[in-house]
Structure 1
């Protein structure tokens, strides 16, 4: 089984090499719909990181089109494959059917309905096959929008409604959890245990938000989310029996100010949500209360598109009242908090080559019930949620430019990423009580991403 999973990424690499020299007959649906190359919307000609034009395309509901392209069905697909090496192997295997180290895999394959439905309605709906877990198709990121525009004198408004399945998936910036960078990471490397609620609800919830952009300056969005019924989650393959369940509805908010002056683009904002939850879906002991406050900032230098510079920062503060968890023996302390900081700096040359540097840190209240674990690798002997990591990534996107043979047909992203952990699951050395150091989880991740 391990051998077969190694062969698949090899075939994918050969396919990518083949696409680099011949023309394919399919194309990414957004580029096909607008008739524009990928660089119009994406800073590096491919990936989730958007230009001001790309943000406006999403803001207006994915409906912008060119000529007769409105008659085309907006379908697209993608495949991701990768190789993962960690500084120390993972005895027993990195995942079911994988070895302890040096694993190659097809990470995922997705089909999208992505584009215009009517002149005022558009959709981004992703269904994904998880190649690591071997799961059936999962309903992945989903954002269905109605959008329109209005004016009053010199005042311009874009407004709309988004129905989606993840807090922040409707967001226009890469500073919120759903679209935070780096764009890809290894599913076969150890990952820290602690995380905020707003980062953990993707696919588990359904929500509706209303938004408005005033004079291309002020963005406001608000709405609410509720946990999808168990049978619905099972149908779309997102059910997790240990996932917290929202009791009732959870309000969500987002506000941001943006300005673009002669190629210098900047934005600052805040986002968050508040939720009462049944811990691990257990009822009868009341609820826990989570309140997440996020603050973010973005700067992009776009005056000379041969040399693009970026700087982004995100801070999330989560306050918790663990009343129900304490009653059920699932928490040691009634009141606790978690803080997450992410900073990213990047340079992109000719929207083709990019170097990204990321720093991430999580810290918070120690809890010997929530975080303490004797499990090797994933455990924590300190009961602390603290983590620190630095990530460097080099990426290459050969297509997606105006002069590319495949400018509106297909795109490829190749990346090499290295993650170094200064602290992992609350410790630096022997953090799990079984002799593993944080640096033992350092990861070399090579990935290939093909969209068509």
Structure 2
């Protein structure tokens, strides 16, 4: 596709945005399944998607079920009465409202390029998409399941995220509410009430602030899908002060039909560039503790810590000897969040610091041209995101990330992203973003040039139905 044609597509995208804003109505019911099932508008749970309000955190904590909340019960009863009077739905019930939602993202991007790196312009009508199966299955069981991967580059449908919740009965411990339950999921911390993705963007190859996802630096596979579960409990709440704790067990899986070709961020067999890995054994542990301060003057804050402890045995099909290596991963982190939410103004800050250490790393450091043969490798990552919105409609956001390893130079990346964001409706978002790289060793090592050659301008349009 030529650049001129791509630019015409970009102009067509902007025309569609303009026409869409004329065709939507504020009370449209074509919004995601949680809103359709609860009768509440999206901004009750979200500040701006996907960030959560205190009420949204509580909804997630209760496993996407309804009976715990007086507000949801009242809204559903009001909606049932309105439906009965207007005749558009006889009832608002779980089995009568589809638990399906669809999100589609279109994107135009232009990479700056340089003397050794050609500039690149891309337009994708379907850069990414997600199909969500989400909501209450039974009074104490709920789910949030994302299927993703369908795009106009030939992607196939895959499981993006899975959270199945079994929530215990509401209890009291002295004057405090006690909420507890069990979660089954395929991503560490996916069910955590603080874990909503940072500001949109592709800066730093997808690394962003928030809870650890394990799919970061050192895995037996790149990336490393997981299967496991957590037990969790919350004493108190998100507006009057509360303590959240979780403990999980996870088992990494290849996600590649049992075989994964090694890359510079995955284990490789020393002396054999063609080695593939057959599987892992043992189980990893995860722990999480977070405190939510009592809200005051529309301000809500959180501070937390977490740790991931991996100790698999990795079996390589072409490895010498018994073909097993120890993958002693240790990951520790601190995170904090602050939100100011009033009737017109929204201000948010999300920050995290994560230290990763692999006690026995086998891999190729492309940037240095060296093979790391079983020595320890560590890395630190600091990320901070901030955004401001007026009337939850007009926004500006910024992000900074710094990532460094003394032993594995391929991991060294730092840069900023700044952007403008517009929500003409709660389920439609248009963004303009500029990514600026101070250091970009992975790309520089692979293709040459300098970090600034990979600076990128993006325009994104996202719909959720």
Please name the residue that 1:305 is paired with. 343
What does the per-residue CA deviation read over 1:381-416, in whole Å, with 9 as the maximum and x for residues that have no partner?
A: xx453211011121111113xxxxxxxxxx111111
Aligned-partner Cα distance in 1 for 2:111–2:244: 41
What does the per-residue CA deviation read over 1:310-340, in whole Å, with 9 as the maximum and x for residues that have no partner?
A: 22210000111116669xx952461221000
Alpha-carbon shift at residue 309 of structure 1 (Å): 1.6
Pairing partner for 1:396 from 422, 425, 434: 422
Aligned CA distance change for structure 1 residues 281 and 391 (closer, same or farther; 3 Å): farther
Aligned CA distance change for structure 1 residues 184 and 162 (closer, same or farther; 3 Å): farther
Matched pairs, number = 401
Q: Over alpha carbons, which structure has the higher Rg?
A: 2
Alpha-carbon shift at residue 136 of structure 1 (Å): 1.5
Alpha-carbon shift at residue 134 of structure 1 (Å): 1.5
Pairing partner for 1:40 from 7, 22, 44: 44
Aligned CA distance change for structure 1 residues 362 and 92 (closer, same or farther; 3 Å): closer
Contact 2:135 2:142 in 1 (8 A): yes
Higher RCO structure (Cα 8 Å, ≥6 apart): 1
Aligned-partner Cα distance in 2 for 1:10–1:366: 46
Aligned-partner Cα distance in 2 for 1:279–1:350: 51
Please name the residue that 1:387 is paired with. 413
Pairing partner for 1:101 from 120, 138, 151: 120
In structure 2, the residue corresponding to 1:341 is in which secondary structure? strand
Alpha-carbon shift at residue 271 of structure 1 (Å): 1.4
RMSD: 3.3
Please name the residue that 1:408 is paired with. none
Alpha-carbon shift at residue 192 of structure 1 (Å): 8.7
Aligned CA distance change for structure 1 residues 333 and 246 (closer, same or farther; 3 Å): closer
TM-score (structure 2 length as normaliser): 0.77
Alpha-carbon shift at residue 191 of structure 1 (Å): 3.7
Please name the residue that 2:81 is paired with. none
Aligned CA distance change for structure 1 residues 90 and 11 (closer, same or farther; 3 Å): farther
Contact 1:342 1:361 in 2 (8 A): yes
Contact 1:298 1:312 in 2 (8 A): yes
Please name the residue that 1:318 is paired with. 356
Alpha-carbon shift at residue 272 of structure 1 (Å): 2.2
Pairing partner for 1:169 from 177, 185, 190: 190
Alpha-carbon shift at residue 70 of structure 1 (Å): 2.7
Gaps of at least 5 residues in structure 1 are 94-99, 368-382, 401-410
What does the per-residue CA deviation read over 1:214-260, in whole Å, with 9 as the maximum and x for residues that have no partner?
A: 012000011111123x5xx358xx97443665431111111100023
Aligned-partner Cα distance in 2 for 1:10–1:90: 29
Alignment of 1:413 onto 2:429: yes
What does the per-residue CA deviation read over 1:254-277, in whole Å, with 9 as the maximum and x for residues that have no partner?
A: 110002323110100011211124
Instruction: Please identify, of 123-132 and 12-21, the stretch whose mean Cα deviation from structure 2 is larger.
Output: 12-21
**Mapping of residues 94-173 of structure 1, within 5 Å:** 101-105=120-124, 106-131=126-151, 133-148=153-168, 149-173=170-194
Aligned-partner Cα distance in 1 for 2:340–2:13: 34
**Mapping of residues 218-229 of structure 1, within 5 Å:** 218-228=243-253
Contact 1:9 1:81 in 2 (8 A): no
Aligned-partner Cα distance in 1 for 2:314–2:454: 29
Contact 2:112 2:453 in 1 (8 A): yes
Contact 1:32 1:69 in 2 (8 A): no
Contact 1:339 1:364 in 2 (8 A): yes
In structure 2, the residue corresponding to 1:365 is in which secondary structure? coil
Aligned CA distance change for structure 1 residues 125 and 433 (closer, same or farther; 3 Å): closer
Please name the residue that 2:284 is paired with. 250
Aligned CA distance change for structure 1 residues 57 and 8 (closer, same or farther; 3 Å): farther
Pairing partner for 2:311 from 276, 281, 296: 276
Aligned-partner Cα distance in 1 for 2:115–2:205: 12
In structure 1, the residue corresponding to 2:445 is in which secondary structure? coil
Contact 1:286 1:323 in 2 (8 A): no
Contact 2:215 2:224 in 1 (8 A): no
Aligned-partner Cα distance in 1 for 2:249–2:214: 12
In structure 1, the residue corresponding to 2:424 is in which secondary structure? coil
Aligned CA distance change for structure 1 residues 322 and 202 (closer, same or farther; 3 Å): closer
In structure 2, the residue corresponding to 1:397 is in which secondary structure? strand
Aligned CA distance change for structure 1 residues 363 and 333 (closer, same or farther; 3 Å): farther
Contact 2:234 2:245 in 1 (8 A): yes
TM-score (structure 1 length as normaliser): 0.79
What does the per-residue CA deviation read over 1:276-322, in whole Å, with 9 as the maximum and x for residues that have no partner?
A: 245695662321211000100111112x2311222221000011111
In structure 2, the residue corresponding to 1:286 is in which secondary structure? strand
Contact 2:208 2:383 in 1 (8 A): no
Contact 2:435 2:456 in 1 (8 A): yes
Pairing partner for 2:107 from 46, 69, 82: 82
Please name the residue that 1:403 is paired with. none
Alpha-carbon shift at residue 433 of structure 1 (Å): 8.6
Aligned-partner Cα distance in 2 for 1:396–1:299: 22
Gaps of at least 5 residues in structure 2 are 67-71, 78-91, 217-221, 268-278, 365-369
Pairing partner for 1:185 from 202, 205, 230: 202
Aligned-partner Cα distance in 2 for 1:59–1:202: 27
Please name the residue that 1:213 is paired with. 234
Aligned-partner Cα distance in 2 for 1:52–1:305: 15
